[in-house]
Amino acid sequence: MEFTPGIDAVVLVGGKGTRLRPLTLSAPKPMLPTAGVPFLSHLLSRIRAAGITHVVLGTSYRAEVFEEYFGDGSALGLELEYVVEAEPLDTAGAIRNVADRLRAEDVVVFNGDILSGADLGKLIGTHRNADADVTLHLQRVADPSRFGSVPTDASGRVLEFLEKTPNPPTDQINAGCYVFRRSVIESIPHGRPVSVERETFPGLLEAGAYVQGFVDSSYWLDVGTPEAFVRGSADLVRGIAPTSALPGSPGESLLLDGADVHESATVDTGTTVGERAVLGEGARVAGSVVFDDAVVEAGAVVENSVLGKGARVGARTVLRGVVLGDGASVGADCELLEGARVWPGIALPDGAVRFSSDA
């Protein structure tokens, strides 16, 4: 990754993370424990590795949590500033809302719930070499029909922004990372909701601005759903997704300080076991995120699931693709399958069976 001086970073972390409830009832999505640290730590580590040191966080929901944890950023080798969004301003509105904190002429903007392996130095280099007004990270995906697509010409210049369609003309999608000239940010209407996808970018093209694409096919994941969150954490633990914030070496599991794992328990497929969490005799936990103080009792099976802080799984219970909120508990000999979510503090009795439902 190239060193890229003279550029600011903006990270948008104001969303409520409704698709990740009940986990986000107690913490903003970018602050959820992911491979041992808040998700945002992984992105900040990549920003610092690219040589960017001045970072502005655009916050809203539970804004105070970010500053309480990261402070001024000096521990990470960064200078962090925080701007609170009093009312929802959408993506471009949130970018415009931090304009008065920017110093550099070029600004790289990140969506705070994307896990990406794109080379930031090359992205910024592409922007500067093209002398573009805005450069977009465009990700190649196997199924672009799930997203809006962004076709480019032979030089990489963006031609248009297309809504979702069954037969998109390109496999390139908007990957949620952009490099702006600061003057373009300052031209975004101030004080009202503005969408980059629906208003800013189409408006720039219509006005004849130079919008460049940086096309990439490296690791990329939107962690906005429980399934994707679990996968992203496991990929970080296993070294598939890039980070320098992992508290340990990549491997099949990550056990945090004070985790108590019985010698007969099995922990693999990128599982994280939080501080003071307990895995009992014969328990099997695969591809999951176990928050601090959670308990998995003897013989239980937990696969591709998230156990919130202090959650409890009873003996011989099976969870597959499940989310337990903080302090939730599931009794012994239960079976909860794909999509089931148990809200914080809820207790399911022994032998309860739930299929893809909320409790």
> Could you give the strand order of the β-sheet that contains 106-111, starting from the edge strand earlier in sequence?
79-84, 54-59, 7-13, 106-111, 172-181, 134-140, 211-216
CA distance 137 to 202: 16
Return all residues near 138 (Cβ < 8 A) that are at least 6 apart: 150, 152, 172, 173, 174, 175, 213, 214, 215, 216
- Looking at residue 17, what is its pLDDT? 60
The answer to which of 16-20, 153-157, 192-196 has the lowest mean pLDDT is 16-20
Residue 49 near residue 117 (C-beta atoms within 8 A): no
Q: Please state the rounded mean pLDDT for residues 223-246.
A: 91
In sequence order, what DSSP letters do the residues of 252-266 get, joined into one string? SEEE-TT-EE-TT-E
Q: How far is residue 67 from each of residues 16, 36, 60, 70, 300, measured CA to CA in Å? A: 17, 19, 12, 5, 38
The C-alpha atoms of residue 43 and residue 30 are separated, in whole angstroms, by 10
Q: Report strand pairing: 172-181 vs 134-140.
A: antiparallel
Domain limits, CATH 3.90.550.10, in the chain: 7-226
The DSSP result for 163-196, as a single string, is ---SS-S-SEEEEEEEEEEHHHHHHSPSSS---I
pLDDT at 178: 93
Q: Are 328 and 311 in contact (CB under 8 A)?
A: yes
Q: In degrees rounded to 5, what are phi and psi of residue 205? A: -65, -45
- The answer on pLDDT for 163 being more than 80 is no
Residues of the chain with CATH 2.160.10.10: 252-354
Q: What is the pLDDT of residue 148?
A: 80
Q: Is the dihedral of CA 246, 44, 229, 177 positive or negative?
A: negative
For residue 132, is pLDDT > 50? yes
Q: Which of 226, 300, 238, 229 is nearest to 269 (CA)?
A: 238
Going by pLDDT thresholds of 50, 70 and 90, the confidence category of residue 61 is low
pLDDT over threshold 60, residue 358: no
May I ask the CATH class of domain 252-354? mainly beta
Of the candidates 296, 288, 258, the residue with the CA atom closest to the CA atom of residue 275 = 258
pTM, 2 dp? 0.89
Residue 345's pLDDT band (cuts 50, 70, 90): very high
pLDDT > 50? residue 1? no
Q: Name the amino acid, one letter, at 235.
A: D
pLDDT at 26 (0 to 100): 74
Are the C-beta atoms of residues 73 and 168 closer than 8 Å to each other?
Answer: no
Partners of residue 59 on adjacent β-strands:
13, 84
Identify the band that residue 222 occupies on the pLDDT scale cut at 50, 70 and 90: confident
SS3 per residue for 274-327:
CCCCEECCCCEEECCEECCCCEECCCCEEECCEECCCCEECCCCEEECCEECCC
User: Model confidence over 73-92: pLDDT tens digits?
Assistant: 999 999 999 998 888 888 88
Distance set, CA 346 to CA 111, 160, 338, 350 (Å): 32, 48, 18, 13
User: What digits encode the pLDDT tens for the residues 2-56?
Assistant: 445 579 999 988 766 677 777 767 777 888 889 999 999 999 999 999 999 999 9
Residues 105 and 99: their CA atoms lie apart, in Å, by 11
CA distances from 120 to 9, 46, 52, 212, 335 (A): 11, 8, 10, 15, 44
- Residue 67: the pLDDT is 87
- How far apart are the C-alpha atoms of 288 and 233, rounded to whole Å? 8
275, 310 contact by CB (below 8 A):
no
Task: Flag the least confident range among 20-29, 223-232, 297-306.
Answer: 20-29
The mean pLDDT of the chain is 89
Q: Which CATH architecture has domain 7-226?
A: Alpha-Beta Complex (3.90)
- How far is Cα 34 from Cα 231, in angstroms, rounded to an integer? 10
Helix residue ranges, H only, the chain: 39-49, 63-70, 90-97, 120-130, 182-187, 201-206, 226-237
**What's the whole-number mean pLDDT along residues 286-297?**
96
